């Protein structure tokens, strides 16, 4: 079954770096981009999950086109299961089966810190 994959933009799709401001982005993180391309080819849905402002979505989409990064949406729940969407049309967090983010931590890692 195809998965919905939410991928963070800054520091995940792009190489890590300091925030450069509106419309300014680092070069792509090639091993992540190759993984995204493969997942998209396999039929998975790729949604960019970002804190960037909506006014930057066109620039982000153009960045993805320039670097041949397949993207199905940005911060959208349009691909979420219909049963979930029937509950509300205003979820603040996007639905995904997998969340890929450079600042993430799996809950099991908390146990390793003790």
Per-residue confidence (pLDDT) for residue 4, from 0 to 100:
95
Angstrom distance (rounded) from CA 72 to CA 5 = 10
**pLDDT recorded at residue 100:** 95
The count of other CB atoms within 10 Å of the CB of residue 17 is 12
Of the candidates 5, 15, 75, 16, the residue with the CA atom closest to the CA atom of residue 40 = 5
- Residue 49: enclosing H or E segment and its boundaries? strand 45-49
The pLDDT averaged over each successive group of 10 residues in the chain (114 residues) is 93 83 86 97 96 90 97 90 73 86 84 67
| Domain-wise residue ranges, the chain | 4-113
Q: What is the pTM of this model?
A: 0.86
The per-residue pLDDT for 24 is 79
User: How far from 27 is each of 13, 14, 20, 37, 71, CA to CA, in Å?
Assistant: 9, 6, 12, 16, 17
Contacts of 104 (CB under 8 A, 6+ apart): none
Q: What is the pLDDT of residue 34?
A: 97
State residue 64's pLDDT score: 97
What integer pLDDT is reported at residue 114 of this predicted model?
58
Q: Which CATH superfamily is domain 4-113 in?
A: HAD superfamily/HAD-like (3.40.50.1000)
Under a CB-based contact definition with an 8 Å cutoff, are residues 5 and 45 in contact? yes
């Amino acid at each position: 079954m195809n998965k919905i994959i939410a991928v963070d933009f800054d520091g995940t799709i792009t190489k890590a770096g300091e925030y450069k401001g509106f419309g300014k982005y680092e070069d792509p993180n090639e091993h992540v981009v190759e993984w995204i391309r493969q997942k998209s080819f396999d039929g998975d849905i790729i949604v960019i999950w970002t804190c960037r402002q909506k006014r930057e979505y066109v620039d982000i989409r153009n960045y993805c086109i320039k670097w041949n990064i397949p993207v199905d949406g940005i911060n959208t729940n349009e691909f979420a299961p219909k049963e979930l969407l029937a509950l509300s049309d205003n979820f603040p967090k996007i639905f995904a089966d997998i969340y890929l983010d450079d600042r993430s931590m799996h809950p099991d890692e908390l146990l390793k810190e003790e």
